[in-house]
Amino acid sequence: MLDVMRRSKGFTKIIFGLVVLATAGSLALAMYGLWGGGLSGKEQGAPDWIANVDGEPIPTIVFQKTRSAIENDMRQRFAGQASDEALASYVDQQALGSVLGQYLSEREAERAGLRVTAAEISSDIVNSPTWQKDGRFVGVQAYRKILEMNRIKVAEFERERQKELAAEKLRSAVYALARVDDAEVDRRFRDEVERVDVEYVLLADTAFADAKPAAPAEVRSWYSSHASRFTTPEARRAVYILFDRESKAASLPVSDAEIKDAYEKGKTTTYSHPDQRRASHILIKVPQDAPPEKDAEIKAKAAALLARVRAGEDFATLARQNSEDPGSAAAGGDLGFFGRNRMVKEFEDAAFSLSVGAVSDVVKSPFGYHIIKVTEARPAGVQPLDEVKAEIRRSLVVTKAQEEVRKSAEEFERKLAAQESSFDKSASALGYKLADTGYFEKGSPAGPLGRLPQVEDAVFSLKPGGVSAPVTVPQGLAVFSLAEVRAPRPAPFDNVKEKVETELKKSRARDKARSIAGEIVAAKGDLKGRVEKRKLEVKSLPQVTRAQSLPPLTDASKAAAFAAPIGAVLGPYETDDGLLVIAVKGKSPATSDEAVSERASLRRRMLDEERNTLYQAFLSRVEKTSQIEINEGLLRRTRGQS
């Protein structure tokens, strides 16, 4: 089997974290399912796309192939280090980020007019490890045969690769803007290579806190003298016009001819599927560190349930009552349709070996013990038009509605520019209905629109009376005008009473600790000798770098340690848990040989980081002008099947 290599570009924001597949045609291969795999279960009539970007659906299979590759990689790298639920959520987000990032990149490359010639495509394929054997291209005949065996048209495959290469040109153009100066390399080199050995004592708040609570009068007095610590943050109120996509969609016609045309275009991708099974299961989980006797106990429980199934009890009822798969138990264990390479191997082998209606023996997988019942089989093929007609109609309506919303927002902007009165008066005069966010703070919901970072960014960047550009919201587009700004103000005492009591208790503990810390720093000898009679524990942190995060050390205490001579005792430094006193025990400066080799490697790494940061910023700007709808139902079902 030809190897499909993958490499991560390192983006950390989920939505746009591109997982760039490095070898020629690799994303196209994922899209067409060349190396196996297929669609996971979807409900009849459910939309077969993972995301819809400005009315253009991204097929489910693209997400699922990407997700499968990421999941396999994560399970190998972090085996036993993360719960199944946490891993499933992470994999979903990374896969979603990958397919969205790739789609936006390809679209922006097309908009930028970036072209890929036939010669470039040919060179890319011929020189790709994906299409080589023993370091040589497999040949045109073998290349075409592999594609044909997998029911992939050469022209369609190469068209997908052409889009990928155009996206790579776009990335390269953005990457070319990245710069790293010598001073920044010097700073990072010093932060990552130079080391200091530290001893420390933490004078914890809990050790110096008063057992008796402060009197109410003391709490009130302390609040009055520290009122600036207890303020409500700035809040803003905006009025806005919502250009609602759904209201537009209700009146937009879609002809049968348009539906048929969309169906024909997506026949070989969106609406085709490999050999599939629909199955239900009962899962009894086995903890990863379960001893043999516990494993045997859980297996016996699964065997007892299997006996009840074979005795005639209803499978779905037993699944609802006993299955430990949160994604399918409520549905009677139903997992929907799935293709090969979608489930773990043990589960897949059992499911595809069963006839419709048959029930498996107890099957062991990395998740636990399964009892599997196959309920339907669907051979490889294309979904009939009648089965996907409603889905296509909806997709076309969304595309048309989004375009109408965009036109409406642009028309309003033109009309508003010709008005001389305020935003709200102009909007009313022009016949637009105003809505109000009410006062909201950063990080809180903007009224009926909810918590949307793009709305928060728009409103908090405006001056009073200012008007935003159209902002993408789940309902469509919105244009905001800043109506009022409420400055930070002291919070009412009753609202923060518990916080005041906590802060007062902490302040008094710190005062006691500060006095003792001062005595320790002023004393003579090493740190252990200075605190021996106080029964304070001295701990060591060897080979600390500036770049490391090692609580309770703070940035200030690390900076002081690097600046001070060996033997110095320093402090106190504020930490979350108390006051810190440190002693410098040793230092390890970088050698000249390290300086030469490490700096070159560091520069390359920093340049990669800067390139990724620039491209992330570029994609974020693209996102703000795009209407992105996520198929949350599919994500939930996918997680339940993992």
Q: 60, 48 in Cβ contact below 8 A?
A: yes
- Band of the pLDDT at 14, cuts 50, 70, 90? very low
Q: 416, 423 in Cβ contact below 8 A?
A: yes
| Fold topology of 26-180+607-641 | Triger factor/SurA peptide-binding fold (1.10.4030)
More reliable by pLDDT, 442 or 52? 442
More reliable by pLDDT, 330 or 351? 351
Q: 27, 102 in Cβ contact below 8 A?
A: yes
pLDDT of residue 289: 75
**Boundaries of CATH 3.10.50.40 in the chain?**
275-379
- Band of the pLDDT at 192, cuts 50, 70, 90? confident
Q: With 70 as the cut, is the pLDDT of residue 615 above it?
A: yes
User: Which residues have C-beta within 8 Å of that of residue 293, sequence separation ≥ 6?
Assistant: none
d(Cα 502, Cα 480) in Å, to the nearest integer? 40
Q: With 60 as the cut, is the pLDDT of residue 100 above it?
A: yes
Mean pLDDT, residues 434-458 taken together: 92
Q: What phi and psi values does residue 338 have, to the nearest 5 degrees?
A: -150, 150
Computed over every residue of the chain, the mean pLDDT equals 83
Q: With 80 as the cut, is the pLDDT of residue 409 above it?
A: yes
Mean pLDDT is lowest, of 402-406, 505-509, 626-630, 636-640, for 636-640
Rg (CA), the chain: 31
Q: With 50 as the cut, is the pLDDT of residue 257 above it?
A: yes
The one-letter amino acid code at 642 reads S
Mean pLDDT, residues 341-368 taken together: 89
Long-range contacts of 535-540, Cβ-Cβ distance < 8 Å, separation of 24 or more: 536/201, 536/203, 537/201, 538/199, 538/200, 538/201, 539/199, 539/200, 539/201, 539/202, 540/197, 540/198, 540/199, 540/585
pLDDT of residue 46: 45
d(Cα 457, Cα 144) in Å, to the nearest integer? 50
d(Cα 285, Cα 270) in Å, to the nearest integer? 34
SS3 301: helix
d(Cα 584, Cα 467) in Å, to the nearest integer? 56
Q: 622-634 pLDDT, tens per residue?
A: 887 887 878 776 6
Q: 100, 106 in Cβ contact below 8 A?
A: no
Q: 566-585 pLDDT, tens per residue?
A: 999 999 999 999 999 999 99
Q: With 50 as the cut, is the pLDDT of residue 457 above it?
A: yes
- Band of the pLDDT at 472, cuts 50, 70, 90? confident
| Fold topology of 275-379 | Chitinase A; domain 3 (3.10.50)
pLDDT of residue 273: 74
pLDDT of residue 312: 94
Mean pLDDT, residues 372-399 taken together: 86
pLDDT of residue 523: 93
More reliable by pLDDT, 400 or 564? 564
SS3 551: coil
Q: With 60 as the cut, is the pLDDT of residue 27 above it?
A: no
Mean pLDDT, residues 309-324 taken together: 94
Q: 535-571 pLDDT, tens per residue?
A: 899 999 999 998 888 889 999 999 999 999 999 999 9
Q: 493, 221 in Cβ contact below 8 A?
A: no
Tokens coding 204:
């914890």
Tokens coding 264:
């024909």
Check if CATH label 1.20.1290 holds for domain 235-253+386-488. no
d(Cα 164, Cα 28) in Å, to the nearest integer? 8
pLDDT of residue 262: 86
pLDDT of residue 3: 23
C-alpha to C-alpha distances, 54 to 46, 48, 57, 375, 623, nearest whole angstrom: 19, 16, 8, 37, 10
% of the chain at pLDDT higher than 70 = 88
More reliable by pLDDT, 441 or 183? 441
Angle at which helices 154-175 and 140-149 pack, to 10 degrees?
Answer: 110
Q: Are strands 381-382 and 334-339 parallel, antiparallel or unpaired?
A: unpaired
Tokens coding 456:
């928060």
User: Can you list the positions of beta strands (E) in 247-358?
Assistant: 272-273, 276-285, 334-339
pLDDT of residue 594: 62
d(Cα 610, Cα 618) in Å, to the nearest integer? 12
pLDDT of residue 85: 66
Mean pLDDT, residues 433-443 taken together: 93
d(Cα 525, Cα 17) in Å, to the nearest integer? 53
Q: 40, 277 in Cβ contact below 8 A?
A: no
Q: With 60 as the cut, is the pLDDT of residue 5 above it?
A: no
Q: With 80 as the cut, is the pLDDT of residue 295 above it?
A: yes
4-32 as b/e: b if 16+ CB within 10 A: bebeebebeebbbbbbbbbbbbbbbbbbb
Q: With 80 as the cut, is the pLDDT of residue 162 above it?
A: yes
- Band of the pLDDT at 595, cuts 50, 70, 90? low
Pick from 35-39, 131-135, 327-331 the range whose average pLDDT is largest. 131-135
HEC string of 482-540 equals: EEEEECCEECCHHHHHHHHHHHHHHHHHHHHHHHHHHHHHHCCCCHHHHHHHHCCCCEE
Mean pLDDT is lowest, of 30-34, 185-189, 311-315, 575-579, for 30-34
Q: With 60 as the cut, is the pLDDT of residue 131 above it?
A: yes
**Boundaries of CATH 1.10.4030 in the chain?**
26-180+607-641
